[in-house]
């Protein structure tokens, strides 16, 4: 391989060297929020690892579901709503994730099925994820991360994505 990511040559053919990944982010670590028109029911949550960040995705009910409203912010201590009990969570910093999505069926008052556990063991930035409760039309979760790192949040039809960078 040539220095600087050039081409590899051999037997009359050239193969492109892998491109370097640019992990520069400008997301910041301040509170982020976004509204939705309706109260989309949460049906799943999952996590993934990428070259520059760890990702958490909340899925709403049905394809083409409305965006999931949210408020995501760093907190010193995670307090469970509505009891205000302290929720221990692993990590050097804590993101509180409030989602405008009820945990209860408005027609029956019965709880929706619990969101699945998400195992983030071995992730570069994530340390622990917990759905901690919620009331009055929203769901609360906590995400323990390695340190107070930049994060971004964005909505797509029926999904809410939280990315936390590996570095500043």
* Domain assignments of the chain as residue spans, ordered by start: 28-165
Q: Which of 90, 159, 99, 160 is nearest to 126 (CA)?
A: 90
| 167 or 104, higher pLDDT | 167
Residue 57 CA to residue 155 CA, distance in Å, equals 10
Q: Phi/psi at 109 (nearest 5 deg)?
A: 80, 0
12 pLDDT band (50/70/90 cuts)?
Answer: low
Q: Which CATH number fits domain 28-165: 3.40.50.1580, 2.60.40.3500, 1.20.120.80, 2.40.10.10?
A: 2.60.40.3500
Rounded to two decimals, the pTM is: 0.85
- What does pLDDT average to over the chain? 87
Q: Phi/psi at 96 (nearest 5 deg)?
A: -90, 125
By DSSP bridging, strand 70-75 and strand 42-49 are unpaired
């Amino acid at each position: 391989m040539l220095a600087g990511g050039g081409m590899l040559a051999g037997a009359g053919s050239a193969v492109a060297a892998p491109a370097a990944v640019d992990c520069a982010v400008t997301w910041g670590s301040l509170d982020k929020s976004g509204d939705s028109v309706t109260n989309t029911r949460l049906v799943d949550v999952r996590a993934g690892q990428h070259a520059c960040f760890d990702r958490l995705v909340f899925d709403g009910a049905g394809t083409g579901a409305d965006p999931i409203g949210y408020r995501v912010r760093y907190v010193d201590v995670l307090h469970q709503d509505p009891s205000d009990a302290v929720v221990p969570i692993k990590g050097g910093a804590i993101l509180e994730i409030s989602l405008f999505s009820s945990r209860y069926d408005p027609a029956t008052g019965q709880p929706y099925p619990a969101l699945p556990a998400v195992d983030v063991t071995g992730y570069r930035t994530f340390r622990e994820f917990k759905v901690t409760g919620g009331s009055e039309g929203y769901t609360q979760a906590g995400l323990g991360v390695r340190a107070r790192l930049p994060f971004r949040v964005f909505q797509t039809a029926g999904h809410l994505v939280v990315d936390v960078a590996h570095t500043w």
